[in-house]
Structure 1
């Protein structure tokens, strides 16, 4: 028994060395200098501050004026790989730029706590970069990212532009975790417009579904911390 306990501690220690806790890694994350991002500019590249670069530029109408707007997925401007050809850890940020029919560009949102870093995908992604997918569908900005090893967690956020506040409100959050060995699944889906939250627990032939109404909460893109959201949903599901 003592030998088993010692081996368990050793395995845990080695795992911490190889894949540091996400929370610890995020404590030292690089922060984007929001004050250095102009409120208005003549070109998309002007919204990228020093020390960062555009990893992906997504275009689509976000405020209903039929003019393409931009979601700029930024990444730290440093080497993507080390001398061993292994992906380095680089933080990400998201800048939303709206454009009117006259071609004027203005900053609508900036966050550096929503997108996971390039090495925050866990053992599932090994030495390659972890994704943080950003897309625009029917005026909704969608962010989807996953991470894990044996247990894989997927998080999806949906934001919609709110004209009265000129901010992007969170309208939906979906969470899914699956044990890739046992295929057990737990999911939670929250509609922030209606306050309806649905959960699902699938374990073998035993599927449990529940639906309840939770207090409506107004959250904006800048309020969303990916790590905190996952911590809270994991507690609710008992994951």
Structure 2
């Protein structure tokens, strides 16, 4: 029997906690189109949490990748309920800028992929994960999932994007999860370029997994902008299914 999707497992207890907490809304700033250095892309009240450089568009220049996080004290929420308190719900933005002879030109900004920390029963998906990396010209973002109430599941989801056809296209998705109470494991790996999908199920008590392959039936092309919330993404769905 297949395990439910990792996001579904971890978010089952989220609504009750989210309703009890008053998480302030956020107006996300539009980043400058150009800057001479990384700090030029940082809006007032935000800071650079992670900074990377590497060639992402094949022009042999060191492009810029930033993870920005807001620093608003109003987003740090204290509560008397179960879970993390105070809860730092300050959101993050992912910014990518092309290297130019006179600095950097903004290529993309995104505030949905890295899920905002809004539920005290869930860990911060970015603090405990591998974060953002540049690997062989691709941009990879890994989110970590752990629930201290509402689910036994723990695991991670990694997104791999490549600049092509004028957008950061999702070319790979890898998810792994483990049930802490039973030791049951599940992994899913999708190559969106070849349309091949690998499913594996196993146990922490055994080195052998049950593996099956399939071909994606949907021609859906996902990009950094259309993936949406990285914790709620359904990798095998089409846009019409969502």
In structure 1, what is the equivalent of residue 200 of structure 2?
200
C-alpha contact (below 8 Å) 1:170/1:192 kept by paired residues: yes
Give the 3 Å change call, closer, same or farther, for CA 130–90 of structure 1 in structure 2: farther
Unaligned runs of 5+ in 2: 1-12, 80-84, 238-242
Is 1:186 equivalent to 2:186 in the alignment?
yes
Equivalent position to 1:30, from 26, 47, 50: 26
* Structure with greater helix percent: 1
Contact 1:53/1:75 (<8 A) preserved: yes
Are residue 68 (structure 1) and residue 84 (structure 2) matched? Answer: no
Q: Find 1:154's aligned residue among 153, 156, 169.
A: 156
Distance 1:184 1:208, change over 3 A: same
CA, structure 1 residues 124+221, in 2 after alignment: closer, same or farther (shift >3 Å)? closer
Match status 1:227 vs 2:221: no
Q: Secondary structure in 2 aligned to 1:46? A: helix
- Cα 1:75–1:233 change in 2 (3 A) is same
TM-score w.r.t. structure 1 length? Answer: 0.73
Structure 1 CA distance for aligned equivalents of residues 89 and 171 of structure 2: 30
The equivalences for 1:111-150 within 5 A come to 111-118=110-117, 122-123=121-122, 129-131=127-129, 133-149=131-147, 150=152
The 2-side partners of 1:179 and 1:98 are apart by: 41
SS in structure 1 of the partner of residue 17 of structure 2 = coil
- Change in CA separation of 1:29 and 1:82 when aligned onto 2, cut-off 3 Å: closer
Larger-gyration structure (1/2): 1
What RMSD, in angstroms, separates the aligned Cα atoms of the two structures?
A: 3.4
Q: Is the 8 A contact 2:87 2:120 kept in 1?
A: no
1:83 to 1:209, Cα distance in 2 relative to 1, 3 A: closer
Q: Deviations over 1:88-132 (max 9, x none)?
A: 2221110101103x234111111111013356684567xx95546
C-alpha contact (below 8 Å) 2:96/2:107 kept by paired residues? yes
Q: 1:109 to 1:82 in 2, by over 3 A?
A: same
What does residue 5 of structure 2 align with?
A: none
TM-score by length of 2: 0.72
The 1:224/1:123 distance shift into structure 2, 3 A limit, reads closer
- What's the secondary structure of 2:28's corresponding residue? coil
Shifted more, 77-86 versus 134-143: the winner is: 77-86
Q: SS of the residue aligned with 1:228?
A: coil
The whole-number CA distance in structure 2 between the counterparts of 1:154 and 1:24 is 27
Q: Residue 3 of structure 1 corresponds to which residue in structure 2?
A: none
Gaps of 5+ in 1: 1-14
